[in-house]
A and B are shown apart, each in its own frame.
Chain A
Amino acid sequence: MTASGRLRGRLQVEIFWPLLLAVPVVASGTLQHYQWAVNGVIWGLWALSLNIVWGYAGQLSVAQLALGGVAGYTTTLLISLHDVNLVLAVLAGVGTAVLCSLLLGLASLRLHGFYFTILSVSFAAVFVTLVTNSDTAGRTAGLLVDRGRLPVVDIGGLRWDLDSGSGGFFALALVVFMAMHALAVLLRECPAGRAMFAVRDDEALASSLGIRGATIKILSFALSAVVASVAGILQIYSFRLIVPEFFSFHEALLSLLLLVVAGLGYTYAPAIGAVVYVVLYQAAPVEGEWRVGLLGVFVILIVLFFPDGIAGGIRLLARRASSLVGRAARWSGRSTARSDYAE
């Protein structure tokens, strides 16, 4: 098999494996499990957005949920106030969030590390304060989102009702997640993605090799804002509601923890983050505040034993297993050689 053939095969596996995670949900088919899975997918998307800007390009931004909020509020207000077509409103929402992310990206060129993170926290705080105090945005009560506007897709007589609580909306969320996940996998393999990792590891060295750090950072902000927008819009259509609380600092912190636990910088991480969210935040047999505590204990254990998160831990274990198999193969080869000699 050629090198490009191997690469293509590996990419296909990396792109499509999260579909396996959907199997138990579809097999169960209960409304509650579908809702859990939709929430998991949305948190997977938040983690994915953060993974591009932080995991790939090394810019720790706490503003990703706020960017999703910008897209969500823009879309909702355009539809409710100006009766704009859904697709156009979504595009406008994503566009506005990308514009805001470009401002953040420009700020990241002047501020480094911790100082940029503080700036991103401030951006998120300003956004949440603005929508909490705006009558147009419905203050703390937020705005209702009309899911009835989601179309019924008809593919060759097969009806796909995106609004349906049982499966229809989950299928929409899953398709969106798979598309964004594929984007992230392919991004890592192309020069732009490699350049992001290079800028994260050593910006001066990268620039001596012709990589313009400014372009690469701004590109990572723009792409991550697209993913954050999609997550935000999916979330408000899932809850049929948009409230400032969705995009608060507490929620942003949760997305950060999920990504760290899942494995910062790994393309597998967002899907793993989605599973962690469902298991610890939805399915765990504990109530309310205890879930935060449970996640806290889980984070401590993972960070202590697998500093690279679950994805890093899986890779480490796989490497150890393959080296053990290699050693066993060499050992059995030697013993065969010895027995040949004895004969």
Chain B
Amino acid sequence: MQSEPLLELHEINRRYGGVVAVKDVTLDLRTGEICGLLGPNGAGKTTLVNLISGFTTPSSGRIRYRGKDIGRVGHTTRSRMGLVRTFQHARSFATMTVRESMSVAGTVPADHHRWFGLRGLTSIGTSDRTAHDLESLLERFGLTGWRDHPVASLPYGVKKTLGIAMAMMMEPQLLMLDEPAAGLNTSETTRLQGLVEDIRDLGVTVIVIEHNVPFILEICDRVAVMDNGELIAHAPPDEVMRDERVIGAYLGAA
């Protein structure tokens, strides 16, 4: 698959005092691919997602999104620009129902960053377009039955699925999933694989951080492997699996 890079990272570094969490990472992501991000605990995967989504600022290096430098753009604006992430631990709006949570994600307008973000915050109810998107996403993610349930009472797997559905309400261009399969059972994981592929088929680029190696190998077009903050491989899954450094650093097999 050859298309324009959607996102380009150039020699990105992130240091915390003397600790280098991400070191000289150069990486590009093409439109419509699923990129897996593998690496042992503490390798810098989540920090890299934080850097791309804007939750962390880089110590040095450049981030370009659709050809524009977004290094100084805050995380809220980035999410409005289509760089949307989920979190490792299922985060949720505990006092809301599933439908309410979804509508929160869908009703803040795309130009939210203008006028201090006040514009468009006063319309009552949910617009027809948003309501339609909301219902079709609930159905696609198998959440229709949970529609009016309080989020606090949902099983963990459903909460994680809701996190992805909420991110999809933002109509992302680049979706970053931080360990989406962690805590899911086998059937939930299989369904999640299908969902991620469906999302890619909509033209969305997906980054998936996962420890579940078969999950990554099965659905990803390319896999990036990190170790001690460095990117040690970035290639299609079969090539990555043959890479000496990957075998040594992550898979641990001799």
Chain A positions within 8 Å of B, measured between CB atoms, are 3-4, 7, 11, 186, 189-192, 194-195, 197-198, 200-202, 204-212, 215-216, 219, 265
Contact = CB atoms under 8 A, between A and B. Distances in A.
Given A3-B131, A198-B93, A202-B93, A211 B116 contact: no
B170 interface: yes
Main secondary structure of the interface of A (DSSP, over half): helix
Given A197-B96, A205-B91, A211-B104, 19 more contacts: A11-B124, A189-B124, A190-B122, A191-B109, A191-B122, A191-B123, A192-B122, A195-B104, A197-B93, A198-B93, A200-B95, A201-B94, A201-B95, A201-B96, A205-B87, A208-B75, A208-B86, A210-B108, A210-B170
A209 B85 CA distance: 8
B106 to A, nearest CB: 9
- Nearest 4 interchain pairs by C-beta: A192-B121, A201-B93, A215-B117, A212-B117
Nearest to A187: B122
What's the interface size class on B, roughly? 35 or more
Contacts of B121: 190-192, 195, 219
A204 B76 CA distance: 10
Contact of B124 (A190, A198, A209): A190
A190 B108 CA distance: 10
A189 B104 contact: no
Contacts of A205: 87, 91-93
Contacts of A206: 93, 104
Contacts of A197: 93, 95-96, 104
A204 B125 contact: no
Interface in B69-103: 75-76, 79-80, 84-87, 91-96, 100, 103
A297 B109 CA distance: 47
Interface in B163-212: 166-167, 169-170
Contact of B120 (A191, A198, A209): A191
B118 A219 contact: yes
A316 to B, nearest CB: 12
The winner among B91, B95, B121, B122 for most chain A CB atoms within 10 A is B121
Contact of A209 (B104, B116, B123): B104
Given A7-B125, A186-B124, A191-B121, A211 B95 contact: no
B62 interface: no
Nearest to B86: A208
Interface string B10-41: 00000000000000000000000000000000
Contacts, number: 100
Contacts of B108: 191, 195, 209-211
A192 B119 CA distance: 10
Given A202-B91, A202-B93, A212 B76 contact: yes
B57 interface: no
Given A194-B103, A201-B93, A208 B124 contact: no
B115 to A, nearest CB: 9
A207 B122 contact: no
A230 B200 CA distance: 53
B49 to A, nearest CB: 11
A189 B103 CA distance: 11
B92 A202 contact: yes
Contacts of A209: 79, 84, 104-105, 108, 166-167, 169-170
A162 B101 CA distance: 44
Contacts of B93: 197-198, 201-202, 205-206
A119 to B, nearest CB: 23
18 contacts: A7-B125, A11-B124, A191-B109, A192-B122, A195-B108, A197-B95, A202-B94, A205-B87, A205-B91, A207-B79, A209-B105, A209-B166, A210-B79, A210-B80, A211-B108, A211-B112, A215-B118, A219-B118
A213 to B, nearest CB: 8
B80 A189 contact: no
A146 B117 CA distance: 42
B47 interface: no
B75 A207 contact: yes
B131 A191 contact: no
Nearest to B176: A208
Contacts of A207: 75-76, 79
A211 B93 CA distance: 13
Interface in B136-181: 166-167, 169-170
A219 B116 CA distance: 10
Nearest to B123: A190
B53 interface: yes
B18 to A, nearest CB: 26
Nearest to A308: B95
A195 B123 CA distance: 13
B154 to A, nearest CB: 14
Contacts of B95: 197, 200-201, 265
A2 to B, nearest CB: 10
B107 interface: yes
Contacts of B76: 207, 210-212
A199 to B, nearest CB: 10
A275 to B, nearest CB: 24
A3 B120 CA distance: 21
Contacts of A201: 92-96
Contact of B125 (A4, A195, A198, A210): A4
